[in-house]
Amino acid sequence: MTSTEAAAIALQDHAALWSTGEIRASDVVNAACDALVAGLDTPGLRILAACTRAEADYDVPELLPKHSTNSASPSTRSPAMPAERTPPERSHAACLLAS
């Protein structure tokens, strides 16, 4: 695995952890900075990495909207929806890397 792949995975993991409240928004910003240092460079990633610690709590939710925990609960999951799926925050982070 290259350092850019590892940085992309780390950013996606941080986004998923942030969405569950396990880590702070500033940790996601730090992961975005690490991704830039590793060689990833997209406009969305630059915007995320440019957030200050004070701005992170306000800007990260706009850049990576939290997914409602209700829609991922087993009771609301449709039979066609797999039990294990990519969290939306990982998808949003992947979009930041692709833009």
Q: What is the per-residue pLDDT across 29-59, written as a single tens digit (0 to 9) for each?
A: 999 999 999 999 999 899 999 999 999 999 9
Confidence at residue 1, expressed as pLDDT on a 0 to 100 scale: 81
Q: What is the per-residue pLDDT across 62-97, written as a single tens digit (0 to 9) for each?
A: 988 764 333 333 333 333 434 444 555 566 566 666
Domain boundaries, the chain: 3-68+87-98
Choose among 5, 31, 3: nearest CA to 16. Answer: 31
Say yes or no to pLDDT of 61 above 70: yes
